[in-house]
Amino acid sequence: MVSIDVSAIAFAASLVVVGLTLFWKLGFRDRKFPPGPKRVPVAGCAFVMPTKNEHQTFSKWADEFGRIVGLKVFGQRLVLLNTSEVATELLNTRSSIYSHRPDFPMLEMMSFPKWNVGIMNTGSTHRSARQMLGQSMNPKAIHLYHDIMANEVRCLLKYIRDSPSEYARHLRRVNANIILRVFYGVQPGRVETENLVTLNNKLLDATSLAGAPLAYLVNTFPILKYWPRFLPGGRFQADVEVGSRLVEELFAIPIFPVNPKETMPFLSMHSGDKSQRDLARSVAATAFSAGVETSTSMLLSFVLAMVHYPDVQRKAQSEIDAKLSGVLPTVKDRLDTLPYVNAILSECYRWAPPGHLGLPHCLSQDDSIYGYLLPRGTVVLPNIWNILHDSRRHKNPMEFMPERFLGANPEPDPREHVYGYGRRLCPGRYLAEDNLWLAMANMLAVFQFQMASGADGQPISPAVEFTSGIMNRPRDFKCLIEPRSLEASRLIPDKS
C-alpha cells in the first residue's frame, strides 16, 4: 500500500495557493497600471526607451497614451506625468508620498546622495539643508547679493564686448563666479573659475550617466555592486572611482577670507559646530553643481531666442530705452519698470526649460489616480517639456511669444513646473531668478543679437536643438553679438 505524505501535499498545495495569489496580485497591478508602449517579457520597455532627444519621444507617448504613461524596465515601474493637472496633484498636493528619490546604486557608490541636496532622500539631513538654504536664500535675504550680481553682470558685458564669439564661456564663468562669491566668498581668476566649471561639467555628466536606469546593469541589479573590478563586466567600478574623485575635488574648493566690503558668504554664516559646517559644505557644493549649468542653459536659450526672434529683441530694447534713458537696468527695475523684459524671462522658462524632465521622484507608498494603481517604489517623472508646450495651456507653444504673459489674461506661469514641486521645490530659485533677469536685461540694453554669416555671406540660422541628460542646454551655435549703438557701448563700465 502506497503511503501518502500529508504534510508534503499540504506544503505543495500552499505553494500553489501562494503562487496563484502572487500571480493574481501582480497581474492585477499590471492591469491597473497606466497604459504605455508595448512591453516584452523581462526587459519590458527597455528597447524603446530613448537615449537622446527624450522630450520628443515622451511627447509622442503623451499624445498616444494620454496624461499619464506607464513604463516597465526590467521590473522597475516608471510613470510620465504629461499634464500640469496630474503633475500638480501628485507632486504638490500629495508631496508627502512623492518626495523620495529613487535608489540608483551607481550614485550611491559615488556617494552623491550623501551630499547632494537635490539627490539625497527625505529625512532630517535633507530637511536641515533646506532650512539652511531657506534662511539665506529667501526673498527678504536675496537683496544682500544684488551688488555681487550687478558686479559680475557688468564684467559679463565687458567679456562679451571684447570676445563676443566666446559668449558661452563668458556666461559660464560669470554664473560660476556669482555662486562662488555668494556661497564661498571666493573670487578666483579666469583660469581657476574655468577649471571649476570644467570640473562641474564632468560631475554633471557623471551624475546624468550614473542616474540613468539603463546605463549600468548595477542600477537594474543592485547585487552587482559587489562585483570585482578585475572580472569581466567590472569596468563600472572604475567609473565609480572617477566619480568619487570628482566629488573630492568639488569639496576641495577653498573658503577665502571674507571681503569686508561684501556680504558675508553662505559658508561663513554657517560656521558653527562641525556638523553644521559639513552640512553647509554640502549645500554650497549642491548650489555650485546645480546652479552654474542651470543658469547658463537659461541664458544660452535666451541668446538663441533673441537671434531667432529679432522683433522680440527690438521691443525689449525699446522698453529699456524709454524707461531707463541711458542707464543699465537694476533688479529694482524688474517688475514695474521693465515688464516686457520680465516676460522674456518667463518665456525662456517655458520655451526651453533647462530640465526637460526634472529630477525623478519615487513613491513611498501605493497610490492611485484616474483609476490607475501606482505601486510603492514607482519612479515618477514630470514631463516638463510636454507640460510647457501643451497647446491647451499655451497658444502656439513652439513660438517664442513673451506677450503671452502680459495683459489681463496671462497664460499660466511656467515657474510652477521649472523649479520643481512640493518638498523638492528649488530653494535657490529667488537667487537664480534675479540673476537671470539682470543678465538678460543688461545684455539687451547693450547688445544686438543676430545670425552669423556663412562664407557666402548668407545668414546661418542656428538649429533649436538641445543636449540630452539631466541638464538640457542648447547645442553649440554661432551668432553675431555686437553693441547696438555707440551710446549703448558707453554703458559698459571700464571698471566693475
Annotated binding residues, written as ranges, equal: 426
Closest Cα to residue 494, out of 161, 42, 46? 161
Closest Cα to residue 176, out of 164, 157, 192, 165? 192
Binding residues for heme: 426
DSSP result, 375-411: -TT-EEEE-HHHHHT-TTTSSSTTS--GGGGSSSSPP
Q: Is 68 helix (H, G, I), strand (E, B) or coil?
A: strand
Q: At CB < 8 A and 24+ separation, what contacts does 132-136 make? A: 132/270, 132/279, 132/280, 132/283, 133/283, 133/287, 133/427, 133/428, 134/427, 136/266, 136/269, 136/270
Q: Residue 382's beta-bridge partner residues?
A: 81
Q: Is 445 helix (H, G, I), strand (E, B) or coil?
A: helix
Helix (H) or strand (E) holding 15: helix 6-32
d(CA 396, CA 402): 12
d(CA 271, CA 185): 13
DSSP result, 343-362: HHHHHHHHHS-S-SS-SPEE
Closest Cα to residue 435, out of 297, 280, 246, 318? 297
Q: b/e map of 82-108 (b: 16 or more CB within 10 Å)?
A: bbbebbbebbbeebebbbbbbebbbbb
**Category of 77 on φ-ψ map: left (φ > 0), alpha (ψ -120 to 50) or beta:** beta
d(CA 356, CA 384): 5
d(CA 299, CA 439): 8
The length of the chain, given as a count of residues: 496
Q: Which residues 6+ apart lie within 8 Å of 286 measured at CB?
A: 115, 116, 117, 118, 129
